[in-house]
Structure 1
Amino acid sequence: MIDTSDTIGINAELAPNNLVRIGRMFRPEFIEGAKDCRYAVLTPNDPLDLLHDLRVAVARRITKTAANPDSQLKGYPIPTDESLKAFSAGEICTDPKLAVLAAHVDMIASEPSKASAQHLSDLQTVGFSVPQIIALSELCAYVCFQIRLVHGLSLLETHHE
């Protein structure tokens, strides 16, 4: 059985005896690889002064772009900080640093082809370092990957019912 740290399987809401879920168990390296990536972007050895609450808030905000956003939130706790809670809910941010980050995250999640050097410069202007921007980019990439994989698995489940 897939353990509870398999947030992709949990978010896909695959039934216990579903063929897709059973099939995934034949490729444990994929499940473990995805879990390792998740831990690396949410709880890295060197967090680069990007608090866990901020990382979770970014992940939760990205899930708002999913077709069924509430199904993507399992494994991403609600931040305790009020401004990060609002940020994670997709609300407009009054804090300038969070506002620039929100605009960047929203663009990456919904229209990544619009990304430009100016967006990265904007993040630096409000105080994010290059290593932090890279870490945030990795986080965005992972959450977008999770959304697409969960959607694909749910389509396979629907097809096999």
Structure 2
Amino acid sequence: MSDAIDRAAGLTPQEALYRTRRLRPEFVDGAEQCRASVLTPADDQGLAAELRLALALRMAKLNQDAALQHDYQTQLARYQPAATLLALAEGAQPADEPLATLARHTDLITQQPTQATEQHIRLLEQAGLTAPQIVALSELIAFVNFQTRVAAGLRLLRSA
């Protein structure tokens, strides 16, 4: 069965690269379980699925990944999000907290992860995020950027 990374990379079951991924099913299954746990967890820690999907779409746009943009846009649309979340997803800088800090942090980690410091975590705390929310946000950012890079790598292998 195809997973989100296969779809983002454009892999089909008929391709050798698709079958090669299945030589390590724990990685395929693990990535899919991770995707579900960061986007739509049983306990969202106060970070609703539509917010998570809006941030995921924002990261896909920052990474210029058209396939993931389409995927996250489709998922987000199912929630019929408020205009503020749609603007966030499209890359707008929100004026209100905590969305403004969430957007800045997501952008920083996506575009310049080596520039992040402990102070950036303190800014999340000052914006009202709890430690579990900061961990959940970090997991989301890590996963979407991981997914983007794996899909890009698979696309390169596929085109070789």
TM-score in terms of structure 2 length? 0.90
- Among candidates 6, 19, 23, match of residue 22 of structure 1: 19
Partners of 2:6 and 2:12 within 8 A in 1: no
Map 1:4-23 to 2 at 5 A.
Answer: 6-23=3-20
The residue correspondences of 1:1-161 to structure 2 (distance < 5 A) are 2-3=1-2, 6-66=3-63, 68-76=64-72, 77-78=75-76, 80-159=81-160
Unmatched tracts of structure 2, length 5 or more: none
Q: More helix by proportion, 1 or 2?
A: 2
Mark the runs of 5 or more structure 1 residues left unpaired by the alignment. none
Distance 1:75 1:23 in 2: 23
The CA distance in 2 between the partners of 1:146 and 1:98, in whole Å, is 23
Look up the SS of the partner of 1:64 in the other structure: helix
Alignment: residue pair count: 155
**What's the offset of the Cα at 1:8?**
0.5
> Whole-Å Cα distance in 2 between the matches of residues 69 and 78 of structure 1?
16
Determine helix, strand or coil for the equivalent of 1:137: helix
Q: Using the alignment, how far apart are the partners of 1:96 and 1:49 within structure 2?
A: 14
C-alpha RMSD of the superposition: 1.4
Identity %: 39
